[in-house]
Amino acid sequence: MARVEVDNLDISLTAPDGRVTHVLGGVSFTAEQNEFVCIVGPSGSGKTTLLNILAGLVTDYSGHANMLGDHKESRPTVGYVFQTPRLLNWRTLLQNVTFGLRATRVGDTELRDLALDQLRVVGLDRAASHYPLSCSEGEKARVGIARALAIDPDILLMDEPYSQLDELSARRLRTDILRIWAERKKLVIFVTHNVAEAVYLADRVYVLSARPAKTSAIVRIELPRPRRPTDPAALLYQDRILGHIGVDQP
């Protein structure tokens, strides 16, 4: 069972000009297998830095960020969906998905079949031979998800993956990721600045303060699925979260 335990996480980052910014100043939260957890907060509150720490991309911090698998001594497999898909334009969609699997000992045929299965999950198997420059932003976002799923992660980290999409495309992809989450029983940690998105997706929402960020609130979303963004109960949750962030509704 995958589990994430973050306790009193603190980090300062130094810019190229030498300026030091205190980004996280005491973030704590937990997340467990089968949960869909969203993290929201003001711009610049260190949400992406937090995910980078969980992914092992940033290691110079104080506090604890433990990623636990079935055995405490083993680190669970982590998939990361970035804010921008970071695709290789000279490779096909299929090759982009297989690229991250090259370090495995899987044979080429099995590798291709595995990648094609992931593209099928996100509805792009018929476009496997296309190149990223011929794709819409929504299709590129789907490839990013397929690439992260290809390693069969225990934990899926997602950093505002729909923030650059139009609302119609974003709604479709939110439905897709909930379907994938329900089918595969992964632990998903999803960073967003969109409070309505957080209420639509999450079991629990962790609210970060302005930097140096602390965990200022935990909101459990007790609404049945599937949810409607315009449900009055969902709107009440949105108002509650915005109040914790410090935004008053007109």
Flag whether pLDDT at 250 surpasses 50. no
What pLDDT was estimated at residue 43? 87
- The mean pLDDT of 132-142, rounded to a whole number, is 95
Which of the two residues, 233 and 185, has the higher pLDDT score?
233
Per-residue model confidence (pLDDT) at position 44: 86
Find the range with the poorest average confidence among 66-80, 205-219, 223-237. Answer: 66-80
DSSP state of 213: B
pLDDT of residue 109: 81
The two tokens of residue 203 are 């079991």
Residue 182's H or E segment, with its range, is: helix 167-184
- With a pLDDT cut of 70, the percent of the chain lying above it is 94
pLDDT in tens, 146-180: 999 998 899 999 999 998 899 999 999 999 999 99
Mean pLDDT for 76-97 is: 93
Q: Over 50: is that where the pLDDT of 223 sits?
A: yes
In this predicted structure, the answer to whether residue 104 has a pLDDT above a threshold of 90 is no
Rounded to whole angstroms, how far apart are CA atoms 26 and 244? Answer: 17
3-state secondary structure of 200: helix
Widest CA span in the chain:
58
pLDDT at residue 203, as a whole number: 97
> With contact defined as beta carbons under 8 Å apart, do 207 and 219 qualify?
yes
| pLDDT for the residue 73 | 58
For domain 1-75+191-250, is the CATH number 3.40.50.300?
A: yes
CB 82 within 8 A of CB 159: yes
Residue 134: which pLDDT band, with cuts at 50, 70 and 90?
A: very high
Sort residue 97 into left (φ over 0), alpha (ψ -120 to 50) or beta.
alpha
Separation CA 199–CA 98 (nearest Å): 33
pLDDT at 111: 86
Measured from the Cβ of residue 56, the count of other Cβ atoms closer than 10 Å reads 12
Phi, psi of 220 (to 5 degrees): -90, 125
Dihedral sign, Cα of residue 241, residue 243, residue 244, residue 245: positive
Residue 158 Cα distances to 62, 214, 231, angstroms: 23, 20, 25
Mean pLDDT of the chain: 91
CA distance 224 to 204: 13
CA distance linking residue 124 with residue 93, whole number of Å: 9
Position 192 confidence tier, pLDDT thresholds 50, 70, 90: very high
Tell me how far CA of residue 88 lies from CA of 23, 36, 60, 144, 148, in angstroms: 31, 29, 29, 11, 15
Give the closest residue to 14 by CA, choosing from 43, 42, 49, 47.
Answer: 49
Query: Between residues 107 and 163, which one has the greater pLDDT?
Result: 163
